[in-house]
Structure formats: structure tokens, C-alpha cells
Amino acid sequence: MTNPGMKCSRCRGPARHRLPAHNARFCDQCLEVFLQRQVAKAIKQFRMLRPGQEVVAAVSGGKDSLVLWKVLLDLGYQVRALHLDLELGDFSRGSLDACQAMARRLGEPLMVRNVRELLGASVDQIVAANRREFCSVCGTLKRHLINRICAELDVDTVASGHHLDDEAGRLLGNLMRGHQQYLDNQWPVLEGLRLNGRIGLARKVKPLCRLGGEEIQAYALSLDLPFLEGRCPRSKGATLPYYQQAVRYLERKMPGTRRDFYLGFLRRKGGPPPPPEPAGTCNRCGAPTYVELCTTCRLLERTHGHHAAGGGSPRMACGPRAVSAPDSDSPGSHARTGN
């Protein structure tokens, strides 16, 4: 990235970072200012958060979510960092270590919740019993638990570290595959839903949606943040990375294309999708659903049924339920490709 004699576009000091999409070069300090401004701009542009608002930040230990955590704090938000331990071997241990190191670095508390303890079965067990694609099941479980934890904390908004490459890649995939329902729902803020006065679905916001992955990485490296590199070992079948690579290729050849593609799509769309329609509640866990059991409880039912078949606990009775595609039963379950 460095070029001897390269000057910072902002302070004219020696620059270390080149941002072709913005036709800018920055020193470390000015890169930090740039990042904060882009996040503040996204928050304002899409009305993500009120000043100083309390927000749950879903932190995985990767660079994106750790940067999200820090920038939201720097911008004055009350951040409740939440890490879900998925117990996927070394990857999960490394993820937790990274989050804990970041918490020490920031002097902030970290909430760690264990998925197996919360659901009574591990992610691997639930995937195996349901014979479904890993990322889809894992995404469903994580969304379910984040909604549940937001309800417990009574914090109605959760921020995730999804950035421009994620959103532009997802948009490209949805366009190429003609996934109209996902296109309709693609927006950096998705409204939540209250049920009987309690949070049923948390609002989902993506404050990094104006930033490219390489911009976030440059910032994380310049501050030497303790992030974990690498992808989840179970994500081999995911297609989103291919679309992201295509977007990055186009961005390298034509800087600014990625932002124009995503933000132009949002501009033409004009506004956010309608808020989720009022729903009933899951007979078992109380989560919002249009059918008797929410997707997570159905996944768990098959998991425990699976064990029961081998002599485990009795299977719970369940009446007839509506036919639905995976994830389609929960209103605004916000299911999207590769997430």
C-alpha cells in the first residue's frame, strides 16, 4: 500500500493507505477519521441509531465486527458486545480469544453466550440431525438467539459488521439468481417487531455498509486490533464469497463501482422494506412465527427426535403445520443468501 513520498489527502503528512474508490491517500490518523465519518454517515443516511443509543453489537472476533465495536464506541454509542460461542473447535476458541482480547483492549465488558447451553444441542448436532446446509442452519440459530438475547436485555437494536463487499456481493448474487424476496428485503436497516410488549425481532443495522473490506482491514491493521483471520471452517459450501470476489475484481479494475452498485440500488429502491407483519408466537419458545413452531424449534425438534430414535428423550407432539421453505416462517427473519 505504501508509496514513498505519498502524501495524506487530509493532513499532507506521509500517507500509508491508498483508497482508490475515494481518490484519497491517508495516514493512520486520517484513516481513522475517514472510517468514523463513513460509519456516522451511514448511520445518519439510513437512520440506524439515535445519538448515544444503546445497541447490541454482534462480535465474532473477525476484523469487521471488532472494528464495528470500536467505531460505535468512538462515536458515543452504548455498545453491548455479544459473542455467541458456536463450539466449532479451534476456530471458535480463536474467535472467543480475539473478542476477549478486544474487550481488554477497549476496557469494555463482553457478553459470551454458549449456543449449546442455550439450545440444549450444539450447532454441529443440529446441522447433522437436520441434514441441511451448515451456514443456513447456523444463521437461523444465531438470528434466533440474538433476538432472544436482545429481548432479555431489552435492547431493541443489534448492529452487525456486514460491510460493502458483503452487501454488494449479496446484491449481485440475489440479482443473478433472481431472488426477488431477498432483493425486496435488502436494506442496511431492517425494522424489528414487538410481541406483547416484548422484543420479538430486534432491529438489524449495518453501520459498516459504506466501507470496503480492505478499508476496514487497513484500519484494523493500523491499530493492531487482535482480530482472528480466516473463514469459518464449516462455510465451504457458501456461495457468497464467489460473488464478493467478483465484486472485488470489478472494484480493482474500476474503483468506486462497488459503492455505486450497492448505494445506487438502494437509491433506486427509494426506501426500506415495510416492517415485518404482526405474527403469532411459537408454541414452544414464544418467538414470532406464522406457523406453530418457529424454525429453530423445528430444527431442535428434529435434533432431539433424532436422539430419541436412539433411545433418548421422548419426542414432543406437534400438530399439523403450514408448508414453508426454510427460514420463511419467521417474519423478517432476514434470511439472505450466504448469511
Q: Please give the residue ranges that form the binding site for Zn ion (CB under 5 A).
A: 8, 10-11, 13, 27, 30, 282, 284-285, 287, 294, 297
Pick 12 or 41: Cβ nearer Zn ion? 12
Write the DSSP string, 237-268: G-SHHHHHHHHHHHHHHSTTHHHHHHHHHHHH
Cα 280 from Cα 195, distance rounded (Å): 8
Pick 188 or 288: Cβ nearer Zn ion? 288
Neighbours of 213 (CB within 10 A): 20
Is residue 99 classed exposed, middle or buried when 0-12, 13-18 and 19+ CB atoms within 10 A define those classes?
Answer: buried
CB of 2 to Zn ion, least distance (A): 14
Pick 19 or 81: Cβ nearer Zn ion? 19
CB of 16 to Zn ion, least distance (A): 9
CB of 10 to Zn ion, least distance (A): 5
Write the DSSP string, 95-129: HHHHHHHHHHHHT--EEEEEHHHHHSS-HHHHHHH
DSSP 8-state assignment for residue 14: B
CB of 27 to Zn ion, least distance (A): 4
Pick 17 or 162: Cβ nearer Zn ion? 17
Cα 311 from Cα 309, distance rounded (Å): 5
Pick 141 or 216: Cβ nearer Zn ion? 141
